[in-house]
Structure 1
Amino acid sequence: MSSLIGKRLKALREERKLSQDELARMFGFKDRQTVSAIETGERRLSAEELLLAVEKLASSLDYFTDPFLLAGEGSFSWRQSGVSNERLNSFERVAGRWVAAIRTLAPAVGKPGPNMRQSLKLTSKSSFDDAMSAGERFASDFELGDVPARRLAEVMEQRLGILVLMVDAFDGVSGAACRLPELDAVLISRQEVPGRRHFDLAHELFHILTWDTMPPEHVEDSSERSKSRVEQLANSFASALLMPAAVIDRLAPAKGYGVEWLNDTAEALQVTATALKWRLVALGRLDSAAANKIPDTALRNNGRKVDKRTPPPLYSKAFMEVIALAIDDGQVSARKAADLLDLTIEDLADLCATHGVKVSLDL
């Protein structure tokens, strides 16, 4: 707890634009070394000092003590378009509570995170061919089959220990990657069409696997043709992972890559037809001039006039299993869990049932 309080004190000090010397004077400490020791967890704040911090920094006690909160910890990278910083920061605080809940509860119910993280040997100087090769290798190494999109989330959670959450996000927010010292997480807007969801998932996976060598920006443009080199590398990796060359070649038409083939093949691969079109260009199967003559309007929703498919259920089965175990074990009350997930207790019970998760709730 002292380490947690220290990190949050540092985050609040920096938010208030105070130096360690200024904070030391505020607390009546002799020097800034005492503040430094508190922020690194080497020294505990006494109860009186904690109350003084609440008063002097105009904060709440929960800010320092609530385990279901991310403050001064973790980094998010948001994939969005046209969302204001205020709205994005608001949603990040909410999303941070979901991630913090698993960070706190999973070890308590016997489901700790992975001992080692997977990574890709890529940097911002790597070529797009390098990124595509890495995507193809990932699909092959983890045996994702002819339709990699189908099992990608499952592999990320079960074999890589990456938390994958399907969420209801603000319009314009398509997904995010989150890095904590002990946990990686990916959030995906479940209201996106399936092909877009899968591309965002593979894109955010790239950021998780390359976070140490090329940490992503806090906010990134969700355009698949972003000018950022890191985002272009992520797009190349995602395209190759979801659409391996060998699979595309097996499905290749006898003559020409037309609109009908693009839409039907994209639907079979659970990707977007537009992404498939540009994957063909990257592979040299279709020249860019011919690709530009195929209007994206003809590929929208993979040729469907209206996409009426039901979005996936909220969060994930693995996530709800931890929540259910924590409730049954008394680590968190059903009411607290429902509040964390912005649900009623009845909705919580229904969501567990939807995921096939058993939980004891007093309704």
Structure 2
Amino acid sequence: MDKVRLGRRLAEARELAGMTQDAVARELKLDRAAISHLERGDRNLRVPELVTLAQLLGRPLSYFVEPPVQAAVNRRAAPHADHDSTLGLDVEVDQFAGEVRTLLAMGLLTSADRDPAARTPRTHAEAERVAAKFRREAGMGDGPVKDLGRVCEVFGLYTWAPALGRSGPDGACVQVDSEGRVAGATVVNGDADSGRRRMTLAHELGHWLFGDAYDSQAGFDAEMWIDSFAIHFLGPRTGVTNMWRAHSQLSTRDRALAVGVEFRLSWTAVIGQLRNLDLITREEREQLASDEPRRGDYLRLGLSWSDELTAPYLSPGYVAACLNGYAAGVLTPARTLELLHGLLTIDDLPQPLDDKQRLRRAFEGHEALTR
């Protein structure tokens, strides 16, 4: 990586760590001018200094030394008319995309097989149809999506949910390419409310499936259509309608509470979808919007909310890829723990595979070669 790019990453990591140049200089036993020169790319950085800086700023060495994923670079350079963006989100996307690329290059993650003809919906009806199509492809019926992170992996999209603050940005998604292999990397704010996290991930799944960054026909309304896809993906018409009718003995508000918990939707999302499906009137939606429920309202009905994508979260296939790489001896313990973002300690790592297990693993999927 060139000195200018390295300096930019150092400056960003320092800012996110809440440290001044003076504070960093004291830790490295340098003067502040030396840190300023490093961040401008005017000074070479010695390896011991970089190791110390990485530890100090809470970023893996790979973040500073590996080239960035081009899609992440393009996203940062583009005007963010369609994506809420902050420095923290941009840095997390940069880092996670690079980690997905590493696992792709090592063959630990499989390449995604996306429909090249997929495009951003242009109407709400089309958004509903395509949501139903992708639900069928994932082997889902009309019920709730119980493990959205795992479902996204069916389509080659891997998720990292760091803590970005309750009022922080929602999320972003980029395409990762490595030697002909392709996957998606998405970052979702793990500090946001549960329903908002799920809507964000379903929205980013839409961006990934439609490849809208490469769709020359996608206009400024794309975000609205992808939101429409997301709500129909999480709360399909038949499933929501059946749940609504099953609770006909309850009041309108309590029925909405039951539907929201079953499909793990935020209050805004559930009453919006009930209105979309003509299950409530416009006036009822407005009334419900002004009467947002409290936790006790759910508990009064015996309803419990299952949290998902809480920071820190990594999708299960990504975690499995890291641990399989470690067990097979292709990832070091230190690199494995870096890739897992602190979810495990060294004592949690699995036993390495023995030589026979490694050989068997190498031939998995190639049984014909052993006959």
CA separation of 1:289/1:321 partners in 2, compared to 1, >3 Å: closer, same or farther? Answer: same
CA separation of 1:134/1:256 partners in 2, compared to 1, >3 Å: closer, same or farther? Answer: farther
Post-superposition CA distance 1:238-297 (Å, at most 9, x none): 111111111122123447871111011111122223211111222233232221122354
Does residue 58 in structure 1 map to residue 72 in structure 2?
no
- 1:276 aligned partner, one-letter code: V
The answer on whether the counterparts of 2:93 and 2:185 sit within 8 Å (CA) in structure 1 is no
CA separation of 1:121/1:257 partners in 2, compared to 1, >3 Å: closer, same or farther? Answer: farther
% of aligned pairs identical? Answer: 17
Does residue 241 in structure 1 map to residue 233 in structure 2?
yes
Q: In the TM superposition, what are the counterparts of 1:1-363 in structure 2 within 5 Å?
A: 58=42, 68=66, 70=68, 72-74=70-72, 75-76=74-75, 88-108=86-106, 110-114=107-111, 116-118=113-115, 121-123=118-120, 126-157=122-153, 159-171=154-166, 172-181=168-177, 182-210=182-210, 211=212, 212-213=214-215, 229-253=221-245, 254=248, 258-299=252-293, 303-304=297-298, 312=310, 314-339=313-338, 341-343=340-342, 347=345, 349-350=347-348, 358=350, 360=352
- 1:133 aligned partner, one-letter code: R
**Residue 29 of structure 1 corresponds to which residue in structure 2?**
none
CA separation of 1:179/1:331 partners in 2, compared to 1, >3 Å: closer, same or farther? Answer: same
**Residue 221 of structure 1 corresponds to which residue in structure 2?**
none
Give 1:128 deviation, angstroms. 2.0
SS for the counterpart of 1:133 is: helix
Give 1:174 deviation, angstroms. 2.7
How many angstroms apart in 2 are the aligned matches of 1:316 and 1:279? 27
Unaligned runs of 5+ in 1: 16-53, 218-227, 353-357
The answer on whether the counterparts of 1:147 and 1:270 sit within 8 Å (CA) in structure 2 is no
How many angstroms apart in 2 are the aligned matches of 1:278 and 1:208? 24
State TM-score, norm by structure 1.
0.64
- 2:111 aligned partner, one-letter code: P
State TM-score, norm by structure 2.
0.63
- 1:160 aligned partner, one-letter code: F
- 1:314 aligned partner, one-letter code: Y
SS for the counterpart of 2:134 is: helix
**Residue 40 of structure 1 corresponds to which residue in structure 2?**
none
SS for the counterpart of 1:206 is: helix
- 1:164 aligned partner, one-letter code: T
SS for the counterpart of 2:262 is: helix
Give 1:201 deviation, angstroms. 1.5
What do you get for the CA RMSD once the two structures are aligned? 4.2
How many angstroms apart in 1 are the aligned matches of 2:113 and 2:322? 24
The answer on whether the counterparts of 2:171 and 2:189 sit within 8 Å (CA) in structure 1 is yes
- Higher mean displacement: 266-275 or 115-124: 115-124
Count of residue pairs brought into register by the alignment: 290
Post-superposition CA distance 1:28-79 (Å, at most 9, x none): xxxxxxxxxxxxxxxxxxxxxxxxxx9995376789996655254435589x
Give 1:236 deviation, angstroms. 0.6
